[in-house]
Chains A and B, each alone.
Chain A
Amino acid sequence: MTATNAIVARDLTRTFGRFTAVDHITFEIAAGEVFGFLGANGAGKTTAIRMLTGLLAPTSGQASVAGHDVYREAERIKRDIGYMSQRFSLYEDLTVVENIRLYGGIYDLTDRDIAERTALMLERLGLGHAADQFVRAIPLGWRQKLAFSVALLHEPKVVFLDEPTSGVDPITRRQFWELIYEAAARGTTVLVTTHYLDEAEYCDRISIMVDGRIAAIGTPAELKHTFGAASIDDVFVRLARAHPPEGKSEARP
């Protein structure tokens, strides 16, 4: 495992009873890379992300994130990563500034660091006027951009984004992606999931999971070339349709 790889997985596997959710996946993500982690509902993405974020122990195989082993150093992984999902990211009953302070506290930032980074973040997002508003009162698009910035507050080496742009308008989606590019340009590694397959084209590389395995991995151009497809959407449908996930056994975590 080299120092330039932010995420390394070797034969990473997780079973639940007789159901194999993640089945010997192997891949590497370089530092500063924007990596699209794609797959149909139930293909195993969420289980894989839970293992890489130190929340779920693998059944077998190896993985390291930001240089830390997922078995022995799960707590150190949590300090060095950021996480944001569409479903939950900020506390709606706290104000913008309270949310930032809460996350800063969780990651042991000093009061001075929190104050400085809050000011910088609000200025960069143009959100200064909304500093004392409840998060529930600000538009979804702003909330998602704020949630992303909060996930980066403690300057993590790797950030996991789980469907960050779901339901967001086409302009805000693109502004969000510019924030991703900015973070990657500063050296942050980004692993992102999305159901908007045009967004897959915005990634440096992508993988497509089918039935717990990585069925394809490469740059968007490489995958389109390999499958003779016009778009990632076509590649995805061809791979995923060959393996309808409903045919599998019961539990899906």
Chain B
Amino acid sequence: MTADTETAVAVEDVAKRFGSTIAVGGVSFAVPRSELFGFIGPDGAGKTTLFRILATLLVPDRGRARVLGHDVVTDLWALRSRIGYMPGRFSLYPDLSVDENLRFFASVFGTTLDREYRQIAPIYRQLEPFKTRRASALSGGMKQKLALCCALVHRPDILLLDEPTTGVDAVSRREFWDLLGTFKKSGMTILVSTPYMDEANRCDRIALIQGGRLLAIDTPRAVADSFDRPLFAIRSSDRYRLLKALRGWPHTHAVYPFGESLHYADRRTDAPTDRLRDDLRDFLTARGFTDAVVEPASPTVEDSFIARMGGPDGARAA
């Protein structure tokens, strides 16, 4: 196999600015075929611009992007019918029914719903009970599924999904990721973006993106493990006071709310964990936190993201 048939997406130094705003600031990455690749980052990080460039809808200022071996600028017509693109903003026809939307998108690509039924069956079966309902009357989760269905109806080789789960409740989000797993098994390459850090673990590999730059590219596990400080989870009934107390401790590198506890990273990178934990306990007891529980914690993708942004005060400077 040549590099072109194994690599689904190859991006070299792609940049795009709008006026004085740098949306994407020179990024490079490659995605092999059949990979589920996630861009994890907040609004304004550059995810949408990058997806629009890959979908041949926007021309980069510099750099080169190839999708399925085709250049996105010079070879866009060969590429368009092979890409399934789901924009971040809901972009189906709200006045058309579920079925009418699907038939329309199928016809644009010169095919029919009946001919493509097998391809979209896993997702279409969930929509079928509502096929006469107008798209505008669907819940958020169902809208996203319909949009995915429309992006799949012409049997693309690659899916570009821009924030498909944003604003959708936790149950629908899980179902959506389960569906992506199903399509991945069929050999499809999937690029997906999300602001939800917990969704990173559903991807084969991820890129952390912020301010138009890629902060890291690796497997979710490796990104999480790249967090290089002793990390503890600390709990107490009075979280806010606990947070303020720890902010004032000289050994604190970073402390921030994390689920039911606070995550605390220590400045002392070479001390044994047990000693740091005992130190912390003594400090908290002296400050009157008699119910505080201190336990070593495994870093997550989100801890790593926060550290790479420059710690909890990083956003202030950004």
Using a CB–CB distance below 8 Å, which chain A residues touch chain B? 39-42, 126, 139-141, 163, 166-172, 174-175, 177-178, 181-182, 184-185, 195-198, 201-202, 220-221, 231, 233, 236-237, 240-241, 245-246, 250-252
* Chain B residues with a Cβ closer than 8 Å to the other chain, count: 46
Q: Which of B141, B172, B173, B259 contacts A198 (CB under 8 A)?
A: B259
Is B169's CB under 8 angstroms from A201's CB?
Answer: no
Is A41's CB under 8 angstroms from B137's CB?
Answer: no
**Could you say which residues of chain A place their CB within 8 Å of the CB of B257?**
174, 177, 202
Is B167's CB under 8 angstroms from A195's CB?
Answer: yes
Give the CA-CA distance A182 to B243 in the complex, in Å.
12
Minimum Cβ distance to chain A for residue B263 (Å): 10
Minimum Cβ distance to chain B for residue A202 (Å): 6
Nearest A residue to B165 via CB reads A195
Minimum Cβ distance to chain B for residue A42 (Å): 5
Which B134-187 residues have a C-beta within 8 angstroms of A?
A: 137, 139-142, 166-174
Is B306's CB under 8 angstroms from A246's CB?
Answer: no
Is A185's CB under 8 angstroms from B240's CB?
Answer: yes
A141 and B259 in contact (CB under 8 A), knowing A41-B141, A169-B41, A185-B240? no
B44 at the interface (CB under 8 A from A): yes
Is B139's CB under 8 angstroms from A231's CB?
Answer: no
Is B43's CB under 8 angstroms from A167's CB?
Answer: yes
20 contacts between A and B (CB under 8 A): A41-B168, A41-B169, A41-B172, A139-B44, A168-B42, A169-B210, A169-B309, A170-B42, A170-B305, A170-B306, A171-B256, A171-B309, A172-B42, A174-B256, A175-B312, A178-B243, A195-B169, A233-B170, A241-B171, A252-B137
Is A246's CB under 8 angstroms from B315's CB?
Answer: no
**Could you say which residues of chain A place their CB within 8 Å of the CB of B309?**
169-171
Interface string of B197-220 (1 = CB under 8 A from A): 110000000000010000000000
Q: Which of B43, B129, B166, B316 contacts A140 (CB under 8 A)?
A: B43
**Could you say which residues of chain A place their CB within 8 Å of the CB of B117?**
none
Is A167's CB under 8 angstroms from B259's CB?
Answer: no
B196 at the interface (CB under 8 A from A): yes
Is A245's CB under 8 angstroms from B167's CB?
Answer: no
Nearest B residue to A177 via CB reads B257
Using a CB–CB distance below 8 Å, which chain B residues touch chain A? 41-45, 129-130, 133, 137, 139-142, 166-174, 195-198, 210, 239-240, 243, 256-260, 302, 305-306, 309, 311-316, 318
**Could you say which residues of chain B place their CB within 8 Å of the CB of A170?**
42, 197, 302, 305-306, 309
A195 and B42 in contact (CB under 8 A), knowing A170-B197, A202-B257, A220-B260? no
Give the CA-CA distance A241 to B256 in the complex, in Å.
31
Q: Which of B167, B169, B302 contacts A40 (CB under 8 A)?
A: B169
**Could you say which residues of chain B place their CB within 8 Å of the CB of A231?**
259
Is B166's CB under 8 angstroms from A166's CB?
Answer: yes
A40 and B171 in contact (CB under 8 A), knowing A126-B316, A171-B312? yes
Nearest B residue to A169 via CB reads B42
User: Considering the complex of A and B, which 7 residue pairs feature the smallest CB-CB distances, nearest first?
Assistant: A169-B42, A167-B43, A171-B315, A181-B240, A40-B169, A41-B140, A201-B260
Is B168's CB under 8 angstroms from A240's CB?
Answer: no
Q: Which of B45, B166, B198, B315 contacts A175 (CB under 8 A)?
A: B315
Minimum Cβ distance to chain B for residue A155 (Å): 20
Minimum Cβ distance to chain A for residue B140 (Å): 4
Is A240's CB under 8 angstroms from B315's CB?
Answer: no
Nearest B residue to A240 via CB reads B171
Is A198's CB under 8 angstroms from B258's CB?
Answer: yes
**Could you say which residues of chain A place their CB within 8 Å of the CB of B259?**
198, 201, 231
Nearest A residue to B130 via CB reads A246
Is A240's CB under 8 angstroms from B139's CB?
Answer: no
**Could you say which residues of chain B place their CB within 8 Å of the CB of A201?**
259-260
Minimum Cβ distance to chain A for residue B214 (Å): 15
Q: Which of B168, B174, B316 contacts A237 (CB under 8 A)?
A: B174
Give the CA-CA distance A177 to B137 in the complex, in Å.
33
A195 and B171 in contact (CB under 8 A), knowing A140-B43, A171-B315, A172-B315? no
Nearest B residue to A241 via CB reads B171
Give the CA-CA distance A182 to B244 in the complex, in Å.
11
Minimum Cβ distance to chain A for residue B21 (Å): 10
Give the CA-CA distance A252 to B243 in the complex, in Å.
41
A167 and B169 in contact (CB under 8 A), knowing A174-B312, A231-B259? no
Minimum Cβ distance to chain B for residue A112 (Å): 30
Most chain-A Cβ atoms within 10 A of its Cβ — which of B170, B195, B257, B260?
A: B170
**Could you say which residues of chain A place their CB within 8 Å of the CB of B41?**
169
Most chain-A Cβ atoms within 10 A of its Cβ — which of B133, B167, B171, B240?
A: B171
Is A246's CB under 8 angstroms from B170's CB?
Answer: no
Q: Which of B170, B256, B311, B314 contacts A195 (CB under 8 A)?
A: B170
